[in-house]
Amino acid sequence: MSNYRIQGATGEWEVVIGLEVHAQVTSQSKLFSSASTEFGAEPNAQVSLVDAAMPGMLPVLNGECVRQAVRTGMAIEAQINKYSRFDRKNYFYADLPQGYQISQLYHPIVGEGQLLIAKDEKAGIPQDKVIGIERIHIEQDAGKLMHDQHPTMSYVDLNRCGVALMEIVSMPHMTSPAEAGAYVRKLRSILRYVGSCDGNMEEGSMRADVNVSVRKVGDPELGTRTETKNVNSVRFVMAVIEQEARRQVDLIEDGGSVVQETRLYDPDKNETRSMRSKEDAHDYRYFPDPDLLPLNLEDAFLEECRSSLPELPDAKRLRYTGELGMTDYNAAQLTAEVETFARFETLLAETARQAGKPEAEVATQVANWTLSVAPGVIKSLGADARLEHNTAAANAAILQMVSAGTVSGGQAKEIYEIVLKIGREPAEIAETEGLKQQSDTGAIEAEIDKVLAENPDKVEQYRSGKDKLFGFFVGQTMKAMQGKANPGVVNELLKAKLG
């Protein structure tokens, strides 16, 4: 249980949250038609006769969408229903040509599953928490109305109409905005690992309906919930919960009561407002779609779905902290995004190969480089960074020089900058640009002798117990060596000379 509380006039309140996430299924064509699903086409350029609900048109199920939903279900350890069915949800709207949405009310394709959100004390998640998932069903998306094209008329774009969505319904297991945010991020991560949704919230590939209720701390009864529709970023999901919980507490404490209703979030004003209440809720008249047969999944199909799943975030994180001996933080960071772990694992393999060492021995070095050093350099270069030069081979070569002591951390960054800008061989850069550490004891010794000779008073003080002055000698020596001395060698020699 999180310790998120809303302070009210009458005491402390807690919030209960459930999320319905709509995730657009990654597929070439729509759920029941062959029209393309690509984002950004001219309005109504991707509309089949079926999507436009022309008379006599019939839906034909896209098997790839089924496969993606099943794989997603498997990734959240859910019950896969070998029998499922499609239902019509009937209502009139101009973005819904059929006059009904084909969905799955009575027999969804995926049953109960779960998802783990990781402990994050800073965010107020004191320990790992399992969030239950009630179901996943597949359904059609609607089109889009445009109200700004004409003074008195609205325009309809049906490109999105009929695109496959997975509706992923959580149980009301979240009790803070942070948990809800972590849930959405984790779900997004899993979907992207599986490849069943691109998780692009700006393009509307993922959006959430946020169910919120409040109750007095310790009250076993759930309060009346509201549902805020179509929230399209993690930040907004969290903001909705904060606003809505506060609004509900104030309402109840002022003697009112929460109405079960649908609300909309206005990000500009950071507030939710009522869209329609239960009284004028639609009666959707769900019934089985007679144009479609029930869906029966065969064992071979399920087996193919299962064997096509990649290593998933939780398993990967455990492997990183276990086999690779990585810190929890690094493991969590590296496994959050598909692109990050992919880059990391490629570089890890290459670095281990070049170093001739097991991956576990170089993992921490590669992790630090991947998470902080490399992104810092790339960011500082901005548009000058030519990422086609950012190969695993080049990165591994730099890391290899660092661990061999040939170049310092600072030199590694400089070499990396040149690699990114021009794309030369790291070893060659180190050589020709003078970006190598001096490990030649003779040269270093000569400089140390000079430094000691120039600072007899400090030598005296050091020898009489002022240990802190050691850093001064190191600094002076490095300065004299123009920063190119191997610090390990400098330390060793200084200690010997100072006695």
Partner 1 sequence: MTNITDLGVAAIRAGVAQGDFTAREVAEGFNANVAAASALNAFIVTTPEKALEAADKVDADRAAGKPLGSMAGVPIGMKDLFATHGVQTTAASHILEGFIPQYESTVSSNLWAAGAGMLGKLNLDQFAMGSSNETSYFGNVISPWKRSGGSNAQMSPGGSSGGSSTAVAARLAPAATGTDTGGSIRQPAAFTGITGIKPTYGRCSRWGVVAFASSLDQAGPMAHDVRDCAIMLGAMAGFDPKDSTSLDLPVPDWEAGLDGNLKGKKVGIPREYRMEGTDPEILKSWEDGIAWLKDAGAEVVDISLPHTKYALPAYYIIAPAEASSNLARYDGVRYGLRDLPEGSGLQDMYAATRAAGFGDEVKRRVLIGTYVLSAGFYDAYYTQAQKVRALVAQDFENAFKECDVILAPTTPTASFGLGEKTDDPLAMYLNDVFAVPASLAGLPAMSVPCGVNSEGLPLGLQIVGKAFDEQGVLNAGLAIEERARFTAKPEKWW
Comparison of 59 and 181: residue with beta carbon closer to partner 1: 59
225 CB-near residues (< 8 Å, 6+ apart) = 16, 18, 172, 211, 212, 213, 258, 260
Contact with partner 1 (CB under 8 A) among 198, 242, 271, 291 = 291
463-to-242, 287, 491, 493 alpha-carbon distances in Å: 61, 90, 16, 16
Closest approach, Cβ 65 to partner 1, in A, equals 14
Comparison of 57 and 332: residue with beta carbon closer to partner 1: 57
Determine the interface stretch with partner 1 among 86-94, 222-230, 400-408, 481-489 (rule: CB under 8 A).
86-94
Closest approach, Cβ 284 to partner 1, in A, equals 8
Please give the Cα distance from 119 to 259 (Å, whole number). Answer: 34
Q: Does 92 bind partner 1 (CB under 8 A)?
A: yes
Closest approach, Cβ 144 to partner 1, in A, equals 14
444-to-286, 412, 457 alpha-carbon distances in Å: 83, 21, 21
Please give the Cα distance from 191 to 423 (Å, whole number). Answer: 35
Please give the Cα distance from 130 to 145 (Å, whole number). Answer: 38
Closest approach, Cβ 142 to partner 1, in A, equals 13
Comparison of 1 and 145: residue with beta carbon closer to partner 1: 145
**Per-residue three-class SS string for 487-498:** HHHHHHHHHHHH
Q: Residue 118 in contact with residue 143, Cβ under 8 Å?
A: no
Closest approach, Cβ 155 to partner 1, in A, equals 11
Comparison of 34 and 327: residue with beta carbon closer to partner 1: 34
332-to-119, 339, 371, 380 alpha-carbon distances in Å: 10, 14, 11, 24
Closest approach, Cβ 276 to partner 1, in A, equals 14
CB count within 10 Å of CB 90 equals 16
Contact with partner 1 (CB under 8 A) among 18, 73, 97, 108 = 97
Closest approach, Cβ 294 to partner 1, in A, equals 11
Comparison of 99 and 256: residue with beta carbon closer to partner 1: 99
Q: Which residues ranging from 250 to 289 are in contact with partner 1 (CB under 8 A)?
A: 283, 285-287
Contact with partner 1 (CB under 8 A) among 293, 315, 342, 422 = 293
Q: Which residues ranging from 155 to 184 are in contact with partner 1 (CB under 8 A)?
A: 156
Comparison of 58 and 342: residue with beta carbon closer to partner 1: 58
298 CB-near residues (< 8 Å, 6+ apart) = none
Please give the Cα distance from 462 to 490 (Å, whole number). Answer: 17
Q: Does 321 bind partner 1 (CB under 8 A)?
A: no
Q: Residue 75 in contact with residue 309, Cβ under 8 Å?
A: yes
Closest approach, Cβ 167 to partner 1, in A, equals 20
Comparison of 97 and 181: residue with beta carbon closer to partner 1: 97
Comparison of 289 and 350: residue with beta carbon closer to partner 1: 289
* 105-117 CB burial, b ≥16 within 10 A, e <16: bebbbbbebebbb
Q: Which residues ranging from 214 to 243 are in contact with partner 1 (CB under 8 A)?
A: none
Closest CA to 111 of 151, 84, 147: 84
Please give the Cα distance from 419 to 397 (Å, whole number). Answer: 11
Comparison of 100 and 183: residue with beta carbon closer to partner 1: 100
Closest approach, Cβ 20 to partner 1, in A, equals 20
269-to-208, 209, 212, 248, 434 alpha-carbon distances in Å: 19, 19, 19, 17, 57
Q: Residue 420 in contact with residue 384, Cβ under 8 Å?
A: yes
Q: Does 30 bind partner 1 (CB under 8 A)?
A: no
Closest approach, Cβ 58 to partner 1, in A, equals 5
Closest approach, Cβ 154 to partner 1, in A, equals 8
Comparison of 47 and 419: residue with beta carbon closer to partner 1: 47
Contact with partner 1 (CB under 8 A) among 27, 37, 98, 189 = 98
Closest CA to 69 of 80, 58, 55: 80
**Site mask for partner 1 (CB under 8 A), range 37-76, x = bound:** ------------x--xxxxxxxxxx---------------
Please give the Cα distance from 74 to 483 (Å, whole number). Answer: 54
Closest approach, Cβ 19 to partner 1, in A, equals 25
Contacts for 422-427: CB closer than 8 Å, 24+ residues apart: 422/389, 423/386, 423/388, 423/389, 423/394, 425/394, 425/397, 426/394, 426/397, 426/398, 426/401, 427/397, 427/401
Contact with partner 1 (CB under 8 A) among 38, 63, 83, 94 = 94
Q: Residue 426 in contact with residue 392, Cβ under 8 Å?
A: no
Task: Report the DSSP beta bridge partners of residue 187.
Answer: none
Determine the interface stretch with partner 1 among 84-92, 107-115, 336-344, 478-486 (rule: CB under 8 A).
84-92
Residues that bind partner 1 (CB under 8 A): 49, 52-61, 88, 90, 92-94, 97-100, 154, 156, 283, 285-287, 290-293
